[in-house]
Structure 1
Amino acid sequence: MNSDLPELFHNKNFRHYWIGQIASSFAFQMLSVGIGWQIYDLTDSPLALGLVGLYQFLPQLLLTLVVGHVADRYNRRLICICTRLTMAFTVGIMAYGNLTNSISANMIYVCAILLGTARAFELPANQAILPNLVPSELLSRAVSAIASAREISVIAGPALGGVIYLLGPTTLFATSMSCFLLSCTILLFLQYNFVVKHKAPINLEHLLGGLRFIKGNKVILGSVSLDMFAVLLGGATALLPIVAKDILHTGPWGLGLLRCSPAVGALLMSIYLARRPLQHSVGKIMFAAVAVFGVATILFGLSSHLIFSMLALVLLGASDMISVVIRSTLVQLETPDEMRGRVSAANSIFIGSSNQLGEFESGVTAAWFGVVPAIIIGGVGTLAVVGIWMCLFPALLQRNQLENDPESKTN
C-alpha cells in the first residue's frame, strides 16, 4: 500500500508542484501571523480582525464566475505564477509601509483586498491542475501529500513568523514576500501543457456551470456545505491574537504556537491518510470528524492554559484534515476536467466562506458576547450543523467509497 508514495514522488512535475505549495503556504502562514498581530496592535479591536477576513473573502465571492472560467480557459500554471507574484507585490507594500512608518489599518485592509483578489484566481487554478499531474488512482494520496506539505508550512510558518515578528514586522513581511517569489520560481520548472478541449461560448449558463454541477451532485453539495457551515461557526482561529494576548498572556511567540497547533494535528493525520487512505464508510467518517471539530472548538474556548489550548487545537486540526481530504478528493474525482476550474471556483467560495467569512463572524460575535462565549457558541453551532446535515444529505452519510460510487450522484 505504501509503495504508491515513492511512485508519487518519482513524478517530477508533482515534486515541483509539491515544493511550490510548501513555499507559497509558508509565505501565507507567516503573513497571517503578521497581519493578525499588527492589526490588533494598531486597533485593539476584535472587529478589525474580522474585517481583515471579510476583505479577503469579498473578492472571492464577487469574482467566482470569472475566475472559474479563467481556470478552465487559460494555462493554470501561468495563473498560479501571476497570482503569487501579485501576492508578493502586495506583501512588499506592507513591508514598505512598516519600513517608512506609514502602515495603518486602512493600508492593511487594502492589502487584504488585493490578497483576496489574487487568491480568488489562484485557488481554482491550483486545485484544478493537480488531477492533470497524477493518475486518478493516486489522486487521494496526492491530495493527502499536498495537505501534508501545507501543514508542514502551517506548523513552521506561524511559529517562525512569531519569532521573526520580534525582529520587526518589516522583516516578517519581507520574508513572506521572498517565499512567494520562491514559489513562483519553482513553478517555472513545472512541465504542464494546458489544452482547452473545446471552447464553449461564454454565456451565463457556461459561467454558472460549476455551481449547477455542485447543486446537482448531492454528495459534493453536502460535503462542501457541511465544511463551510461547520468551520464558519467554529472559526475560533480568527480570535487567536486576542486569546494569546488577553487570555493566555503570551506575546507573538505564543500566537505562533497556537497558530501552528492545528497544523500539527493536521500533518499527523494527513501523513496517516497518505499511507492508509480511507477505504470504506467515508460519509460516516466525515460527519464524525466534523463533530470532533466542534467538540475541540468548545474545549479550546474553555481553556485558560497554553498547553491545553494547544492540545485542543491539535485535535481540531486532525479532525478538519479528515474532512478536507474527503471533500477535496470527492470534488476532483467526480468533476470532468473541462469543468474543474469552474467547480473549483465554486468550491473556493465554500472554502472562503468557512475561512475568511468565518473570521468575520468570529470577530463580530466576540465583539458582541466576548471571546470565550463566541468560541463556545461556534463549537455548539458546529455540532448542530452535523446533526442537521445528516438528515438533509443521506447520500453523503451513506457514501461508502471515495470513487466508483455512481449512485450517489442521483441520490
Structure 2
Amino acid sequence: MDPYAALRFKEFNIFLGVRFAMVFAWSMQFIVIEWQVYTMTKDPLSLGIIGLMEVIPAVSTALFAGHVVDQKEKRNLLVKCILGFSVISLGLFLLSLPSLEASVATTTVLYAIYFLVFMGGIVRAFLGPTIFSLIALIVPKKVYPNAATWSSTTWQLASVLGPAAAGFSISWIGVHWSMCLILGFSLVALLNLFRIARKPILNPKIGEPVLKSLKEGIRFVFESKAIFGALTLDMIAVLFGGAVALLPVFAQDILQVGSEGFGVLRAAPAVGAALMMVASTRFPLHQYAGRKLLVAVFGFGVCIIVFGLSTSFLISVVALFLSGALDGISMVIRQTILQLKTPDHMRGRVASVNSMFVGSSNELGAFESGVTAKWMGTVTAVVFGGTMTLLTVGITAVVSPSFRKLDLRRDVEEHEAG
C-alpha cells in the first residue's frame, strides 16, 4: 500500500496541521502546569492531583460526549472544543502574571489552576471523539489504516516538541510567556480549522434517546473482543506505567538536571514513539497484531523499571526513548483496530469509551503515581508500576488466547478493496 496515501488529500493535511498545533499546545501546557505546581508546592502528590482534576470530568462526561459527537456536525464541534481550550489557556496565562502571584495567596492560585485543569478535562472529553470521527469523513475507507498511522504520528511528533519546548521556554522566557505561546498555538489551530469544509452527519439514528445510544456504544465495545482486549491492555499498562507524571521529581531532586533536562526527559518517550510511527507507515503492524501488542507493552514495562532504577541521566533518557518507541507500536495497533472495527455511525461513542479506557488512564495513572510516590517513595513507585505492567501482559496472554492470535490482514485487505 502507498505509505503516503492519506497525505494525498488536501483536507487531511490541513487536519494534521490542526491536530499538531492542538497537541503541541496541550502537551506544552500540561508540562508548564506540572512545573509551576511542583515549584509552588514541592509535593509529588500535587502532581497526582493535576491528573485527578482532569480525569474526573473526562471520565464522567465521556459517554455523553460520544453521543453528542455522533449526533452533531464534526467540524463545527471541533471549533467549539478549540475555543474552549483557548479560554482555558487565557485563564492560565492570567494566573501566571508575576503581579498576581505576588499579591494573591499561593493556595488560591493553586486551586484556580486545578479548576482550569478540571474544565480542560471536560473539553478533552469532546475533543478526542470529535477528532477520531472527523478523520473518517476526510479520507475514504480504503486509506483508514494509513490515515490512522499518520494521525498518530502527528500526535506523537507534537508530543515530542511540546514538552521539549515547554522545558526550554520555562528556562528562557518563564512560565507566564510560555502560557502566552500556548494560547497562540491554539488560535493558529482554530483559524486553520475553518479551511476544512463542514461534513455530513452519517448517523441514521439522529435524535435517538441518550441512554439507548450510550448502551449501544458500550455494548458494541464489550462485545468486540479485538477492541475490548486492546483497550483493556493499554489502559492497565498506562495506569501503572505512568512514570512521566513524576518527571519533575526526577529532574529536580534525583537526576538534578533542571528545566532543560526536564524537557529532554519529557520529550524522550515521544521521540521514540514518533520515529516508530513513521517507520510503521512503511512496515505495517497489522500482521500478528495481538502478539506484537503484547510484546510491545511488555517491553514498555521493562523500560519503566529501568528508568525508575537509573541514577544516570543518559540511561534515563534511553529508557524513556525505548518506552516511547514500544508505546508507539501499541498506539498504532490500537488505532488501527479502532478504525477498522468501528462502524461510521458509532465512531464518537467508541472513541469516548477509548478515552475512558486509555486517554483518562494517563491522568489516573498520574494520580496513582503521585499517591504511590508519596506512600512508598518515588523510585519504588515507578518500579512498582512497571512490574504491574509486566504482570498485566502475562495475565492477558494466558486468559485471552484469541487476542494473542489477533491478525488484522483480512480487515486491511477488505478496506483496501472497498
Partners of 1:233 and 1:382 within 8 A in 2? yes
Match in the other structure for 2:42? 44
The 2-side partners of 1:160 and 1:26 are apart by 9
CA displacement, residues 269-288 of structure 1 (integer Å, 9 cap, x when unaligned):
00000122124211100000
Equivalent residues in 2 for 1:272-311, closer than 5 Å = 272-311=279-318
Structure 1 counterpart of 2:95, one-letter code: G
Moved more, 222-231 or 394-403: 394-403
- The secondary structure found in structure 2 opposite 1:208 is helix
Cα drift, residue 205 of structure 1: 2.2
Partners of 2:71 and 2:203 within 8 A in 1? no
Cα drift, residue 200 of structure 1: 5.0
Partners of 2:145 and 2:412 within 8 A in 1? no
The 2-side partners of 1:143 and 1:180 are apart by 22
Cα drift, residue 246 of structure 1: 0.5
Moved more, 266-275 or 205-214: 205-214
Match in the other structure for 1:211? 218
| Correspondence 1:135 to 2:124 | no
Equivalent residues in 2 for 1:23-172, closer than 5 Å = 23-99=21-97, 100-101=100-101, 102=104, 104-166=109-171, 167-172=173-178
Structure 1 counterpart of 2:131, one-letter code: N
| Correspondence 1:312 to 2:319 | yes
Cα drift, residue 404 of structure 1: 2.5
2:384 to 377, 391, 396: 377
The 2-side partners of 1:402 and 1:59 are apart by 37
The 2-side partners of 1:402 and 1:224 are apart by 20
Moved more, 210-219 or 359-368: 210-219
Unaligned runs of 5+ in 2: 414-418
In 2 relative to 1, CA 317–403 (structure 1 residues): closer, same or farther, beyond 3 Å?
farther
1:356 to 341, 360, 363: 363
Query: How many residues matched?
Result: 404
Partners of 2:70 and 2:203 within 8 A in 1? no
Cα drift, residue 135 of structure 1: 2.3
Partners of 1:330 and 1:402 within 8 A in 2? no
CA displacement, residues 214-262 of structure 1 (integer Å, 9 cap, x when unaligned):
1111111110010000110111000000010000102111111011000
The 2-side partners of 1:341 and 1:228 are apart by 19
TM-score after normalising by structure 2: 0.94
Structure 2 counterpart of 1:84, one-letter code: I
Partners of 1:292 and 1:319 within 8 A in 2? yes
The 2-side partners of 1:251 and 1:245 are apart by 6
- The secondary structure found in structure 2 opposite 1:55 is helix
Structure 1 counterpart of 2:15, one-letter code: Y
The 2-side partners of 1:284 and 1:297 are apart by 20
The 1-side partners of 2:267 and 2:238 are apart by 17
The 1-side partners of 2:287 and 2:29 are apart by 38
The 1-side partners of 2:70 and 2:299 are apart by 36
Cα drift, residue 193 of structure 1: 1.6
The 2-side partners of 1:38 and 1:11 are apart by 41
The 2-side partners of 1:65 and 1:290 are apart by 27
The 2-side partners of 1:200 and 1:218 are apart by 29
In 2 relative to 1, CA 264–203 (structure 1 residues): closer, same or farther, beyond 3 Å?
closer
The 1-side partners of 2:266 and 2:412 are apart by 37
The 2-side partners of 1:156 and 1:114 are apart by 24
Query: Between the two proteins, what is the percent identity of the paired residues?
Result: 36
The 1-side partners of 2:156 and 2:210 are apart by 39
The 1-side partners of 2:87 and 2:212 are apart by 35
CA displacement, residues 10-48 of structure 1 (integer Å, 9 cap, x when unaligned):
201100100111100110121122001001011111111
Partners of 2:51 and 2:367 within 8 A in 1? yes
Match in the other structure for 1:187? 193
The 1-side partners of 2:329 and 2:226 are apart by 16
In 2 relative to 1, CA 21–64 (structure 1 residues): closer, same or farther, beyond 3 Å?
same
Structure 1 counterpart of 2:190, one-letter code: C
Following superposition, which runs of at least 4 residues in structure 1 exceed 6 angstroms of deviation? none
Cα drift, residue 157 of structure 1: 1.4
- The secondary structure found in structure 2 opposite 1:86 is helix
CA displacement, residues 159-216 of structure 1 (integer Å, 9 cap, x when unaligned):
1111111221110111011111111111111124222442252142212222111111
Partners of 1:287 and 1:386 within 8 A in 2? yes
Cα drift, residue 394 of structure 1: 1.9
CA root-mean-square deviation: 1.5
Unaligned runs of 5+ in 1: 407-411
Cα drift, residue 79 of structure 1: 1.5
Cα drift, residue 93 of structure 1: 0.7
